[in-house]
Amino acid sequence: MTHVEIRDKAAISDVAKSSNLAIIDFYADWCGPCKQLATFLYDEIAKVSGDRVVLYKANVDTLDISDITIGGKKTNIMSLPTVIFAKNGVVLDVVVGANRNVIKQNIDKYK
């Protein structure tokens, strides 16, 4: 799995257009569940996903997350962590919280 840090709000819409599954992880350095989820994404998911999945990290403390749109739909990031699954410009699912089982199921479903 490839990991890319998003540093520009406009890049979020672009990465969601990928033909590979884009997992956009909205996090903050001070967020405990975000840190636990990061470990899971890197260590566990990277082992099984190969090149079909690209992980994008978006730090909400350094990135303006207001008015983010993906596929013409506004995303409302209200809680952390929030993980958006997107492919070909379409939001496939949004997971709020560090629910490892749901995230793993979504990766298996959409990869």
CATH number at residue 42: 3.40.30.10
Residue 2's pLDDT is what? 64
Residue 50's pLDDT is what? 64
* Cα distance between residue 73 and residue 28, in whole Å: 23
Query: Residue 4 in contact with residue 15, Cβ under 8 Å?
Result: yes
Distances (CA, A) of 51 to 46, 55, 101: 9, 10, 21
- Tokens (6 digits) for 10: 């406009």
Helix residue ranges, H only, the chain: 9-15, 32-40, 46-49, 100-110
- Phi-psi map region of 101: left, alpha, beta (phi>0 left; psi -120 to 50 alpha): alpha
**Structural domain containing residue 87:** 2-110
Selected catalytic residue, list 21, 31, 70, 84: 31
Selected catalytic residue, list 34, 38, 63, 86: 34
Q: Write down the pTM of the prediction.
A: 0.91
Number of domains observed in the structure of the chain = 1
Is 34 an active-site residue? yes
Per-residue pLDDT of the chain (111 residues; tens, 9 = 90+): 667 889 888 888 888 888 888 999 999 999 999 999 998 887 767 766 567 788 899 999 998 888 788 877 888 899 999 999 999 989 999 999 999 999 989 988 988
Is 43 an active-site residue? no
Query: Residue 80 in contact with residue 27, Cβ under 8 Å?
Result: yes
